[in-house]
Amino acid sequence: MIQELFDLKDKVVLVTGGTHGIGMAVGTTLGKAGAKICVNDIDESKLEAAKAEYAANGIDCYTVKFNVTDEADVDAGISKIEADVGTIDILVNNAGIIKRVPILDMPVSDYKMVIDVDLIAPFIVGKRVAPGMIKKGAGKIINMCSMMSVYGRNSVSAYASAKGGLKLLTANMCCEWAKHNIQVNGIGPGYIATAQTAPIREGGHPFNDLVMMRTPAARWGEPEDIGNAALFLSSKAADFVNGHILYVDGGILANFGYVKGENEL
């Protein structure tokens, strides 16, 4: 049955930073496909609020607080999941931050902070989770990449450095773990309507015009657009998809842009 291809019944999923935005959409979609959802965040109050929101969607999620940049904290958190829920079958390295500051104004400490969360943390969490998948003989890892895995743009040097690195970390995880039947892929969202992009999307911000011009679909993406892509990469249907970055961007990467006007040249 075609539905069986996307059935995640009995699969244990960990979504880092899964209390809102893209992470919550991923957790909700995979939960609706039958998976047991484990939601991580660094903030206990957000975990409590998220648990209620997942429940409202019929998903009894397991919440676990740990800082994805702290190796000991990650180890304790993953050990808790393995003891309470089971070996993680699907890992979504979603937690991320961004700082929009020009290079000349950015303290090195801020640059390092973004690299820590957006690049080193997926390494830490992946390295801790993979042994369980290897022992089980199967697993799925999805690293949340970005348009900035491909492009630079003013003011996001740390973020683009991290997301560019995450694209190649995804390739390297694939090279080392594919023989263990672990499929490691990335998702590269376009511009998605979440709290992270609110500052450059709301209140008539001119960046909104740029996104509309660069996005052939002429809309901001919704977190659910990413959840749907995560369902594919988490499913049996993607068992031979490995080391791939699935861009879910409304056509941005295919588009140089146009000049608004009669012919929209």
Does residue 167 contact residue 145 with C-beta atoms inside 8 Å? yes
Nearest to 245 by CA among 58, 93, 47: 93
Ramachandran area for residue 218 (φ above 0: left; ψ -120 to 50: alpha; else beta): left
Which residues, in sequence order, are bridge partners of residue 39? 15, 63
Residues with a known catalytic role: 159
Would you call 6 exposed, middle or buried from its count of C-beta atoms within 10 A (0-12, 13-18, 19+)? middle
Q: Which of 94, 197, 215, 235 binds ligand GCO (CB under 6 A)?
A: 197
Footprint on this chain of ligand NAP (rule: CB under 6 A): 16-17, 19-23, 40-43, 46, 67-69, 94-97, 117, 144, 146, 189, 191-192, 194-197
Min CB(40)–ligand GCO separation in Å: 20
| DSSP tag of 67 | -
Return the one option of ligand NAP, ligand GCO, none that residue 156 interacts with (CB less than 5 to 8 A, by type): ligand GCO
Ramachandran area for residue 142 (φ above 0: left; ψ -120 to 50: alpha; else beta): beta
Nearer to ligand NAP by Cβ, of 43 and 239: the residue is: 43
Nearer to ligand GCO by Cβ, of 120 and 148: the residue is: 148
What is the rounded distance in angstroms from the CA atom of residue 31 to the CA atom of residue 7?
10
Nearer to ligand NAP by Cβ, of 27 and 132: the residue is: 27
Min CB(122)–ligand NAP separation in Å: 9
247 in contact with ligand GCO (CB under 6 A)? no
Min CB(232)–ligand NAP separation in Å: 17
Write the interaction track for ligand GCO spanning residues 158-187; mark x where CB under 6 A is met and - where it is not: -x----------------------------
28 in contact with ligand GCO (CB under 6 A)? no
191 in contact with ligand GCO (CB under 6 A)? yes
Nearer to ligand NAP by Cβ, of 23 and 165: the residue is: 23
Interstrand relation of 90-93 and 36-41 (parallel, antiparallel or unpaired): unpaired
What is the rounded distance in angstroms from the CA atom of residue 234 to the CA atom of residue 11?
10
97 in contact with ligand GCO (CB under 6 A)? no
Token representation of residue 39: 């939601």
Tell me, by CB under 6 A, how many residues bind ligand GCO.
14
Instruction: Give backbone dihedrals phi and psi of 116, rounded to 5 degrees, phi first.
Output: -60, -50
